[in-house]
């Protein structure tokens, strides 16, 4: 009962946020709506007893990633409500409508054909047992079971960061001759 109420409230918050992201005229408002969605999802994590994931969701997504979005929006000065010109991609609207229809069809099929609805109840498939803390379980899978995949992913991220720095860096002209001459 409580689970369902929590789920419904969170679902409303998430969906309002998600619609707000694309509907808001102002990019900063969009970013704030995104934060709202992330919070809704964090509460859903808590409802599933995934406390650690909920905290990380807020710290990493809301606390770091959206803050970076806001940084970019503010510093690039695109924070004015602009009438974004749609339709720069040819056939974009048609394709979007097509995909939307397909997605809705899939959702509708699932609603009609899955006999037991499990919306808002606790996960049945996991190994969470309310005794071992979340962190221990996560650490076991990340640093024990899937340690190579984890390490490879982290290397990939480091490579991506360094690549971004190298590519975006503008080298000042290294005209040592003229610099020495001017001295």
Binding site for another protein (CB under 8 A): 26, 28-29, 32, 35, 51-52, 54-56, 58-59, 62-64, 67, 70-71, 74-75, 79, 130-135, 172-173, 175, 178-179, 182
Nearer to another protein among residue 16 and residue 26 (C-beta): 26
Min dist CB 44 to another protein, Å, is 15
Nearer to another protein among residue 119 and residue 183 (C-beta): 183
The CA dihedral of 57, 58, 59, 65, to the nearest 10 degrees, is 80
Burial of 150 (0-12, 13-18, 19+ CB in 10 A): middle
Min dist CB 182 to another protein, Å, is 6
Residues in the chain: 183
Q: What is the C-alpha to C-alpha distance for residues 21 and 25, in angstroms, rounded to an integer?
A: 9
* Alpha carbon distance, N-terminus to C-terminus of the chain: 79
Nearer to another protein among residue 13 and residue 28 (C-beta): 28
Nearer to another protein among residue 96 and residue 161 (C-beta): 161
Min dist CB 183 to another protein, Å, is 9
Q: Encoding tokens for residue 60? A: 């990493």
């Amino acid at each position: 009962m409580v689970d369902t109420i929590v789920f419904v409230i969170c679902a409303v918050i998430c969906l309002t946020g998600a619609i707000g992201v694309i509907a808001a005229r102002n990019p900063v408002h969009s970013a704030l709506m995104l934060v709202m969605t992330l919070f809704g999802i964090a509460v859903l994590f808590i409802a599933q007893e995934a406390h650690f994931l909920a905290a990380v969701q807020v710290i990493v997504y809301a606390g770091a990633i959206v803050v970076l979005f806001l940084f970019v929006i503010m510093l690039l000065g695109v924070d004015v409500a602009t009438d974004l010109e749609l339709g720069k991609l040819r056939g974009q609207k048609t394709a979007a409508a097509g995909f939307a229809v397909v997605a809705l069809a899939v959702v509708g099929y699932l609603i009609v054909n899955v006999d037991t609805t499990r919306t808002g109840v606790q996960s049945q498939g996991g190994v969470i047992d309310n005794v071992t803390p979340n962190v221990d379980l996560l650490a076991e899978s990340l640093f024990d079971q899937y340690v190579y995949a984890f390490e490879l992913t982290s290397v990939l991220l480091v490579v991506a960061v360094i690549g971004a720095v190298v590519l975006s860096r503008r080298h000042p002209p290294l005209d040592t001759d003229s610099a020495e001459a001017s001295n």
